[in-house]
Each structure stands twice: as structure tokens, then as C-alpha cells.
Structure 1
Amino acid sequence: MTEETPTQIEPLRQVMTCCDTHPDGIAPRNPEHHPVRLFAKAAAEGRPLRILAPMVRYSKLPFRALVRSYGLDLCYTPMLLAKEFIRSQPARLSDFTTSCLDGPTVVQWGTSSPVDVARASEMVKPFCDGVSINCGCPQTWAIHEGIGCALMQQPELVRDMVKAIKERCGQGFSVGVKIRIHLDIEETKRWVRTVLGEGNVDYITVHGRRRTQRSSEVPNFEAIRVIRDLVKEELGGIPVVANGDVESLEAEERIVKVTKADGVMTARALLTNPALFAGYKKTPWGAVERIVSYCLKMPIPYPLAKYHVGEMLSEVLGRKERKALQEQRCWADLLDWLDEKFVLLREGEEGWGEGVDIPRRVTENPEGAAGEDDDEEDAKKDNGYEAGG
């Protein structure tokens, strides 16, 4: 594979979807979008910073735009492989799509090379508000590649990668790390001391599960508190983010009370209810209208768009309707199906994106709609999920 000069940002101009006011295709970043400033602003408002977690396939541009429309503070991209990113223009154009309205945004790297991650970070610097190194992805392929959770055994390497990014991009460029805990919390403390000891990390996100734990297991929030106290007392007091089981505003309050974290990060709960941090107990209909519009304006592969719609309607659709949704093979089919079942407004129509209740075309519970006879386990099988780190 031919290696390209990382300082050439011309290929990346193509990922910008709206920069009419900036002829060179690069909109200047808003300094208020720097993660450190975001943490300070949230603290001044007496609340944690709310962050969309990196999700394989799903935390792409349309979904980032959606959760921001409901007040989310900071969004992560899916994990990008730094090695491929600096060597392949197709990889860049496929994996990293943004716009001059896409902020605040952090690019997450899967990497084990200081040289690769520094060069990749230099390439995305004009298009994001910071980067983060994934030290938490538990998937087997990532471990075999020496990235993700494999880095929890190599704190010196992570320290060197952070330092390389700062040297290449400047001390003012935000660099975070995202980790999981060890079985022995003392090992995690040693890791954190090594990585944060030189003062180059701007904030740290701690997932309260070990690599081998499933998402159904309760996170160890006390362990997050231990790391938070260590950081505040010994390592410069940088912001600490709690990750794991932030499924509602009530859960957020409980988790912050235990961990004393400066921010919370969530993934799965936002897939089913992207408006949860705006106070909605269930997905408002306006969110469905918005994701349809955003996916058409900022295209992603159709199966991903259909997945988003299915997740947001997961508590509304019955077993037969979920099956019917999965049978819609293209955008035309999906739009026809939604129009048949619901009142789906298009962007520009009065009331678009503002509805709360689900506007079914019929008032009675139709055949196949969610009801008492619906099998909860079937619902879980119909909705796959995979997060990165």
C-alpha cells in the first residue's frame, strides 16, 4: 500500500459536507468546543459533561447531529484505525465524515504506534476538537492487533503515544484516553500514574468493567471513584468521565454521586432514546423524523440508517412489525413503510422534528404492534449492538 504524506489534508476536504462560507473547505474550530472548556462550563452549571460514546458503525455523523439536537455536549466518532487512516484515502473517506457543524467532536483512535497516531491526529486536527486513544475495546480482534484493552498492559506505550500527539499537534490540542479497569485496582492505579504522570493527558474516561465482563454485569463504580480520587489528589486534577450503565437522568445522578466524576459517557441508552439527556423518558417521534432526514442528507449505509430507526422504535413495534421493518430493502421501501404506519413529516413541514407522541395512522393497537403478548426476548434478538471500547 502506498503511504501518503500525512500533512496533505486535501483528501480530507472531501469529508466536509457544508463549508460554503469557507472557500478552502476548512472551518475554524470553535475554541469553546475544546473538551477542557466544555468540562469547565458543565461544572459551572452544576452538572456532569454528557458524552456520546464511540460506537462501531453507529456514532457516525447523522447520529452525532441527532443527539446534539437534544443537548448532548460532546460526541465521539467510532474508533478509527490510525495505521489504515494515514495510509489509505479510501479508509479516510469511508471512516471519517464530518461537517463544519459537527462539533464538539472527538476522534477516537485504535492504535499501538506513537508515529501512526501522531500523524493521524495531525491529519484530523483541522476537523475535530480533540482525539482520544482507545484502551478499552475488549473485542478479540482488537486484542490480537495490540490495540484496545491490550494497551492496559502497556502503560508506557500509551504514555508515549499521548506525548507524540502533543509534540506533533501542540500542547493546546486535546488528547484523552479511555480505559477499563483491572481485576486488581492497584494495577489500574499504577497504569494511570504512568500514563498521566507527565501531564499530557487532558481528561480520562474510565469504563467500570474489566475486559472479560459482559455489558449485562453491573459496572464497578467504586473503582471509578478510586481512580477519580487518585487523579484529583496526585495527577493534576484533570476531568474524569464515568462510563457504563448511564441509562437515564436518574442513573446519571446515582453514578455521579458515587464516582464524583466530571462527566458521563453512554452508548446503548442513546441508541434507543437519543433524547434522554433532554429529559425524555422515551424516544420522541421528532427524533425519528430527524434521524431519517439526517441520514438522507448525510448519507450512511442504508442498513445502519434502518438500524437507528428500529432501535428508536424498539418499544413501539411488536414482533411482526419489527420483522416487517427488517424486510424493507431500500430507502424507498422504508419511507413507504413508515408513511403507511405513521405520520412522518419531512424537513420543512410545520412541526417536523418536534413531535413527542408516536403518530400512528390508526388509534387502536394494530396487529403486530407492541403489546402485552410481545416476547421481550425476541425483541432483544432482533436488535444487535456492538460498541467500541
Structure 2
Amino acid sequence: MKSNCLKTTTCQERKKDPIEMLQSGQLVKVCAPMVRYSKLAFRTLVRKYNCDLCYTPMIVAADFVRSVKARDSEFTTNQGDCPLIVQFAANDARLLADAAHIVCPYANGIDINCGCPQRWAMSEGYGACLINQPELIQDMVKQVRNQVENPRFSVSIKIRIQDDLTRTVDLCRKAEATGVSWITVHGRTVAERHQPVHYDAIKIIKENISVPVIANGDIKTLKEAENVCEITGTNGVMVARGLLANPALFAGYEETPLKCIWDWIDIALELGTPYMCFHQHLMYMMEKITSRQEKRIFNALCSTSAVLDYLTDHYGT
């Protein structure tokens, strides 16, 4: 497992505690787990722009436990990468507990993905299919609690809602009774993709449990984040695509500022981000600030040097 200058100080010894943050009464701003995207370099960037809590991309717990190669490629952190939640895809309580034990010195907690609607995940028994298996979720939470001795190490779940909301509320109550630290609710069902988010459902869930709740779904500005928090009564908001398009969203910017673009370049180059990821993030960030013709040119660039030359020529340093 790579640690990129990780020193002896571990996350548990640092002052930022996500559970305390979520109980503070202040809006907690969260970067979602995003496959390929919410890695160390991007987490470093959004933290510079008022993001309070970051998640890793979803990691398959079984592979992580069994393969050193998987650990090295899937989980990279450093001392400044805190507070940090490692999200796992799992359907085996023992393997999840083992994975949590491995990451506990380097993270503030783990999250169980119970919301991913992708076919491959559900076919493997991961993701959103778990919302129909509350007993398995309870077992996984219990096993992690038993395996990790640190009481400040959080165990959370991220879910989607069900067509029958009473079942979702029941699931959340069972998770709460088992010791889950908080619950993130994406306000759509498994079948829904781009339909409006059911913030009313998130509100009902929040009203029926005592642990903190994070609202997730279609938040694109800081104002929207604040509105969603007010509407739902939740303790925080989680953003995915909105942050990809504008990593400075939580700092109140309506679109990606040029400083953020150059910050990304500095961070990505320092941490050795692969070119495809480096370039793709820039394509997302520049979507709103470039013309169609500029997009065609920029998106076709094939090297870091070409990207740097283009940005220097068009936007200065």
C-alpha cells in the first residue's frame, strides 16, 4: 500500500473527526466516492476549496485483502489527506472487517457501498442489492466494530432509497441499532438515473433516525448544497459530478476558477497522476469556460507538455 510521505502520525491522532463534524450543527461538505476520480490528487485539490470530508473511490474489499498489488494500486494517501473515509464494496463481513483493519491506521473510517446501481456490482452481490439485505449490512457493521478497536473509527453506509420508503427507513433503523456512525442517502431508487432527486424521502429518513445523515444527489453549487441541507434537515451534503465540473464548488465559485486549474496541475504533477486522469479532470473543469472549438482542440491533446503549452498560451500562468 502506497503512503506518499505518510509519517508516523495517523488519522486517529489528528484533530479532525468526521463524527464530531457531523454532530457540530454546521454544514459538512463531502466529496463523494467516484470510480477513477476521487483519488489522492483530486482529494487534495478539493480540500483546498473548503471540502470538509473526502471518500476514496469504491474498492472491492475481497481483492484488497487478498492482493498486495490491489492495495498498492487502489489506496494511496498522505498525512494531509484527512479526514478520509475508505469506501468498500463488500458482501462478506469477515473480509470487510479484515479490509477495515488494514486501512484503520491511515483513515478515519470505512463506508459500505450499498447504493451502486451498476450491473457488474449488483451481479457480484455488491452495491445497491444490499439494501434488500439489512441483516447482512448489520453483520458487516458488527464485524468491523469487533475487528477495529479504535472507538473513533467510523463505520458508515451509503444507500439508495427503495420504492417502498418504509423499507428504507426500517433498513436505516436496523443499521443505527447495530452501531453505524452515519448514513449517506442518495435520493433516487436503483432504477432511477437522471430523474429528480427525492429530497423529501431523505428528509423522512432523517426524521426517523438519530445518527447523522448526509444528503446526496444533483448538487451543483454551494447555494444548492445549503438549500438541500435546509430542506432535508441533514447534517451534510455529498457531491460527485458537481465537484468534477467545479472542484471549487464548496468555496462558493459558480464555475472553476483559473487558480483551481493551475492548482490541479501543480498537485497532479507533484503526485505523479497518470496522464489520462490528469487530462480528464481538466476536461471536466473546463467544460463551462471553453467554447466548442476550444474543447475539440483541448480534448485531443495527447501529452502533459501539450496541455501545459495550451493552458499557458490561452490562460497564462
1:230 matched residue in structure 2: 208
SS of corresponding position for 1:300:
coil
1:258 deviation in Å? 1.7
2:16 matched residue in structure 1: 33
**Separation in structure 2 between the aligned mates of residue 186 and residue 72 of structure 1, nearest angstrom:** 32
2:133 matched residue in structure 1: 154
1:283 to 256, 260, 269: 256
1:194 deviation in Å? 2.1
Aligned partners of 1:78 and 1:107 also within 8 Å: yes
1:76 deviation in Å? 0.4
2:219 matched residue in structure 1: 246
SS of corresponding position for 2:23:
helix
Tell me if 1:176 matches 2:156.
Answer: yes
In terms of Rg, which structure is larger? 1
**One-letter amino acid matched to 1:153:** N
1:28 deviation in Å? 2.3
1:116 deviation in Å? 0.8
Q: Which runs of 5+ in 1 are unaligned?
A: 1-11, 232-236, 345-389
2:66 matched residue in structure 1: 87
Aligned partners of 2:91 and 2:126 also within 8 Å: yes
Q: Once the two structures are superposed, what CA deviation does each residue of 1:6-31 show, in whole Å capped at 9, x if it has no partner?
A: xxxxxx3xx11124xx4xxx422244
Tell me if 1:265 matches 2:238.
Answer: yes
**Separation in structure 1 between the aligned mates of residue 15 and residue 180 of structure 2, nearest angstrom:** 19
1:300 deviation in Å? 2.5
How many pairs align? 315
1:315 matched residue in structure 2: 288
Q: Once the two structures are superposed, what CA deviation does each residue of 1:32-84 show, in whole Å capped at 9, x if it has no partner?
A: 3221112234x1xxx31110000010101111011100111000000001000
1:196 matched residue in structure 2: 176
**One-letter amino acid matched to 2:220:** E
Tell me if 1:220 matches 2:198.
Answer: yes
SS of corresponding position for 1:178:
strand
Aligned partners of 2:46 and 2:247 also within 8 Å: yes
Mean Cα deviation higher: 162-171 or 249-258: 249-258
1:308 deviation in Å? 0.8
1:77 matched residue in structure 2: 56
Structure 1 stretches of 4+ with a deviation exceeding 4 A read none
1:16 matched residue in structure 2: 3
**One-letter amino acid matched to 1:228:** K
**One-letter amino acid matched to 2:250:** F
Tell me if 1:300 matches 2:273.
Answer: yes
Aligned partners of 1:239 and 1:261 also within 8 Å: yes
**Separation in structure 2 between the aligned mates of residue 333 and residue 110 of structure 1, nearest angstrom:** 37
**Separation in structure 2 between the aligned mates of residue 203 and residue 193 of structure 1, nearest angstrom:** 11
Q: Which runs of 5+ in 2 are unaligned?
A: none
Q: Once the two structures are superposed, what CA deviation does each residue of 1:133-180 show, in whole Å capped at 9, x if it has no partner?
A: 000000000000100001011110011001111100023311100000
Mean Cα deviation higher: 323-332 or 205-214: 323-332
**One-letter amino acid matched to 2:21:** L
1:110 matched residue in structure 2: 89
Give the TM-score of the pair, scaled to structure 1: 0.79
Q: Percent of aligned positions with the same letter in both sequences? A: 38
**One-letter amino acid matched to 1:38:** M
Q: Once the two structures are superposed, what CA deviation does each residue of 1:112-149 show, in whole Å capped at 9, x if it has no partner?
A: 01011100011011111111000000000000010000
**Separation in structure 1 between the aligned mates of residue 310 and residue 292 of structure 2, nearest angstrom:** 16
Mean Cα deviation higher: 100-109 or 31-40: 31-40
**One-letter amino acid matched to 1:33:** K
**One-letter amino acid matched to 1:333:** A
Mean Cα deviation higher: 186-195 or 137-146: 186-195
**Separation in structure 2 between the aligned mates of residue 257 and residue 50 of structure 1, nearest angstrom:** 14
Q: Once the two structures are superposed, what CA deviation does each residue of 1:336-358 show, in whole Å capped at 9, x if it has no partner?
A: 222222213xxxxxxxxxxxxxx
**One-letter amino acid matched to 1:39:** L
1:360 matched residue in structure 2: none
Aligned partners of 2:3 and 2:78 also within 8 Å: yes
Mean Cα deviation higher: 239-248 or 320-329: 320-329
Aligned partners of 1:34 and 1:174 also within 8 Å: no
Mean Cα deviation higher: 317-326 or 77-86: 317-326
SS of corresponding position for 1:59:
coil
